[in-house]
């Protein structure tokens, strides 16, 4: 393949002049990867190690999925493991493989891996940065990824919603298939609304906060005023206590 990996492109697209710099173009590229993996899934093949270094992009901008070395024929296959956990790249393992006592490969596991690829391609940073495996697994299973718009407010809300749904810690809340993920990405790239399910599951908190932004802002302002007033009232009282304590101390040490 005359080109490079999706991981290498992550830094290249930070240049505004790059042809993949627009978020719509990045979404369109990852949608092609999703369509490719959907074909594999339809034939009963689960990749199990979807990550940026396993997605090559040629000079024409066409992606190619490589390295089916640990793929599973279907979801009934038991997973190969090591002493540290399931076989695969730790940073891109679906979190359910770390918590399920009898982990099985699944379509949603590949969706999660591609969701992390999309996350890093869009945000420009790794989804997880922990060095110790225990810390990494803790974040993956307990808190998940940081919302994309917390990293870069320029990321469109719909694209952030797609990423958050694909990388949800619960397999049941992710896109049910690669084709569903591709449809969301293609809709975003065309400037069309993403699916209702994606908005409902991934934008629930954001929508709640947005609808109540004025009330929250007013409540925050009141809280700041109350805290400032309380601090101003506390200062003279605290100063008096300190003076009293100093006087008592001087009396106590005067014999010496």
State the catalytic residues: 48
CA dihedral 96, 97, 103, 109 (to 10 degrees): 80
CA atoms within 13 A on the CB side of 227: 6
Cα gap 105→47, rounded to integer Å: 9
Please report, for residues 146, 147, 160, 172, 193, the alpha-carbon distance to residue 150 in angstroms, rounded to integers and kept in the order given: 7, 5, 10, 24, 22
Strand arrangement, sheet containing 63-65: 3-5, 55-58, 63-65
* Contact present, 125 and 151 (Cβ < 8 Å): yes
124 φψ region: left (φ > 0), alpha (ψ -120 to 50), beta (else): left
Mutual angle of helices 107-123 and 178-189, in 10-degree steps: 30
């Amino acid at each position: 393949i005359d080109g490079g990996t999706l991981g290498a492109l992550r830094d290249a697209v930070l240049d505004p002049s790059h042809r993949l710099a627009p978020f719509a173009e990045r979404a369109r590229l990852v949608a092609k990867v999703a369509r490719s993996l959907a074909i594999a899934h339809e034939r009963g093949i689960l990749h199990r190690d979807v990550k940026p270094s396993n997605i090559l992009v040629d000079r024409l901008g066409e992606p190619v999925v490589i390295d089916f070395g640990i793929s599973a024929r279907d979801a009934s296959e038991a997973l190969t493991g090591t002493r540290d956990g399931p076989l695969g790249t730790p940073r891109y393992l679906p979190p359910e493989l770390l918590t399920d006592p009898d982990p099985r490969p699944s379509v949603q596991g590949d969706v999660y891996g591609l969701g992390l690829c999309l996350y890093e391609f869009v945000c420009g940073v790794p989804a997880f940065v922990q060095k110790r495996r225990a810390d990494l697994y803790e974040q993956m299973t307990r808190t998940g990824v940081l919302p994309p718009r917390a990293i870069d407010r320029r990321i469109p809300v719909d694209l952030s919603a797609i990423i958050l749904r694909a990388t949800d810690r619960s397999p049941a809340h992710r896109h049910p298939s690669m084709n569903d993920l591709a449809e969301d990405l293609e809709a975003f790239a065309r400037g069309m609304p993403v699916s209702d399910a994606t908005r409902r599951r991934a934008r629930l908190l954001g929508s709640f906060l947005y609808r109540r932004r004025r009330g929250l802002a007013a409540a925050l302002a009141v809280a700041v005023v109350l805290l400032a007033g309380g601090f101003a009232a506390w200062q003279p009282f605290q100063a008096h206590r300190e003076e009293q304590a100093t006087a008592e101390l001087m009396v106590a040490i005067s014999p010496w």
